[in-house]
Structure 1
């Protein structure tokens, strides 16, 4: 009887060790899966937020910057009696 109880306790101990190892491996695997999913979700959200910020910037600030540069390009001559468009075309031809 003592021998069978010793054998039973040994089997229970080995089973507990095996279940503990399975639990540790499953926990690590679950942690990796959750980490990968969270990283993908964070990247997707970051891309969405960046695109939203870019669209907002383009609608609010870009037109004023473009308008300022177009006005600078429109004033290509120093004297007021010459044609700005002709001078701009000449600069463009000489530039390349």
Structure 2
């Protein structure tokens, strides 16, 4: 046995399963971008698209490598921000009696 031969020793840094994947990283980055874009009302459509892409990449990473939880959480937060914006925009419009949205 050679001195540098480590074939019988388990090395956690050189395992076969990757520690990260490009899909998980892309999902997390797009999720953070979606949160920032959705926090601003003017860039809401771009943030929604980034959130959908984050969800797709994170689900792919979750399915293949069991990674991508951060991207899933970030896309969930971005969709929650979209929901809050939509509620804050449409509820006052529906409740305003001068507009007649709820009246038939």
TM-score range, shorter chain: 0.3 to 0.5
The structure with the greater share of residues assigned to helix is: 1
Q: Which has the higher contact order (CA 8 A, sep 6+)?
A: 2
TM-score (norm 1): 0.40
Of structures 1 and 2, the larger Rg is shown by: 1
TM-score (norm 2): 0.38
